[in-house]
Amino acid sequence: MVFVIRRLLQAVLIALVMSVLVFAGVFAVGNPADILIDPEATQTDRLRLIQQFGLDRPLHEQYFIFLGNVLQGDFGNSFVFNRPALHIIFERMPATLELAFAAILIAVVIGIPLGLWAGLRPNAFSSKTIMAGSILGFSLPNFWQGIMLILLFSVTLGWLPVTGRGPVGEFLGIRSSFFTLEGLRHLALPAFNLAVGLLALVIRLTRAGTLEVMPQDFIRFARAKGLRERRVIFIHLLRNILIPVVTVVGMSFGGLIAFAVVTETIFAWPGMGKLIIDSINVLDRPIIVAYLMVIVLVFILLNLIVDILYSIIDPRIRLEEAGQ
C-alpha cells in the first residue's frame, strides 16, 4: 500500500514538472494568437480574443491560473474547438487504446510462438529467417513500413481499406472496432504497423529466454520426471520466459499509446496521436498540456500494473516484498 501511495505521489510530481516544461515549451515555439486568429480580423477582435484566452498575461501568471483550474479538474478549453480539452482527449482515447491493444495482441500472439520456434531450433533455416525478419522489423522506419503496407494490401491487392476507422460495434457496453467485421478490416493494417517494433522485440526476447532456460537443470529434471514435451515447453519453459516478456510488453503499452502518432497520421486513424499532431500545428496549448498529463498518468498506471503482474508470475519477488 505504501508502495502504491509512493507511486501516486511520484505521478503527481512528474505531471507537475511535465506541465511546466510543456507550458514553457509551447510559449517558446510561438504565439498561439498569431496562428489561431484570422489575419483579416480587426484589432479589437484580436485583442478581445487574446484576452479571452488569457494570452495577454505574463507566462507565470498564465501558468498559475492554469494550475489552479487543474486542481479543480479543469484543464481549460481548447483554443480551436472551444470545448474542454480533457473531453476532446477522452473522445479520441478509445480509438487509440483500441489500436494499442490490437498491436499488443498481435505482438504477443504472433511473437511468442515465433520466438519459441526460433529458440527451440536455433540452427534451423526457418529460425534464421524469423530472426532476420525481426531485424527488419526493428530497423525499417515505421512510417515507411506503414506506407508499404498500404501500398501492398490496399492499393495493389485491394484486400483492406486504406485509411480511417471502420464502424464500431457494441458488446457489453464497450464500443469498439473489434466487434464489427468492417471495423476489424480497418483496424488490421494500422494495428500491425504499430505492432511491428514490439513484435520484433517479443520474438527476440522469447528466443533469448528459450535459449537461456532450455539448458537449465530444471528442464532436464522435468524431462527426467517423464513429462510430455508439451508440458515441459508450455508450462516449465514458458512460465520462466514470461517474466521478461510481460515487463517489456507492459512498459511498451504506454509507448504504443504515446507514440501511435506516426501510425495514426499515416492511416488517418482518429485517435489521440492524430489529435496531438494537429494541436501542435496550431499551438493549441490546453490540448497539448492535457494530453501529456494523461500520458504521464497512463505510464505510471501501467508501470504499477506491470509490477503487480510481475509479482504474480515470479514468486521470488513476492517473498522479497514480504521480507521488507
Partner 1 sequence: MSTLLEITELQTHFLSERGAVKAVDGVSFTVNRGEVLAVVGESGSGKSVTGLSVMGLIDKPGKVVGGTMQFDGQDLSSLSPEAMRQLRGNRIAMIFQDPMMTLNPVLRVDTQMIETLRAHRDISKKDAWTLCRDALARVGIPAPDERMRSYPHQFSGGMRQRVAIAIALLNDPDLLIADEPTTALDVTIQAQILALVQGLVTERGMGVMWVTHDLSVVAGFADRVVVMYAGEVVEEGPVDRVISQPTHPYTLGLIGSVPSRNKRGAPLTQIPGSTPSPINRGTACRFMPRCRFAQTKCEEHPPLIESATGASRCWFQDEVAAQSREVA
Dihedral of the alpha carbons of 41, 43, 48, 49, in degrees to the nearest 10: 40
Site for partner 1 contains 228 (CB under 8 A): yes
Site for partner 1 contains 38 (CB under 8 A): no
Q: What is the per-residue binding string for partner 1 in 300-319, x denoting contact by CB under 8 A?
A: -------------xxxx--x
Place of cell 520484433: 200
Site for partner 1 contains 220 (CB under 8 A): yes
Minimum distance, C-beta of residue 253 to partner 1, in the bound complex (Å): 23
Binds partner 1 by CB under 8 A, chosen from 124, 181, 235, 308: 235
d(CA 203, CA 130): 8
Place of cell 515555439: 29
Nearer of residues 222 and 287 to partner 1, judged by Cβ: 222
Site for partner 1 contains 234 (CB under 8 A): no
Contact set for partner 1, span 178-217 (CB under 8 A): 215-217
Nearer of residues 213 and 302 to partner 1, judged by Cβ: 213
**Axis crossing angle, helix 181-213 with helix 85-120, rounded to the nearest 10:** 50
Minimum distance, C-beta of residue 224 to partner 1, in the bound complex (Å): 4
Site for partner 1 contains 226 (CB under 8 A): yes
Grid cell in block for residue 176: 469498439
Specify whether the CB–CB gap between 50 and 56 falls below 8 A. Answer: yes
205, 228, 304 from 200: Cα distances, Å = 9, 30, 25
d(CA 258, CA 272): 8
d(CA 108, CA 119): 16
Site for partner 1 contains 231 (CB under 8 A): yes
Nearer of residues 165 and 236 to partner 1, judged by Cβ: 236
The residues of the shown chain that bind partner 1, judged by CB under 8 A, are 215-218, 220-228, 231, 235-236, 239-240, 243, 313-316, 319
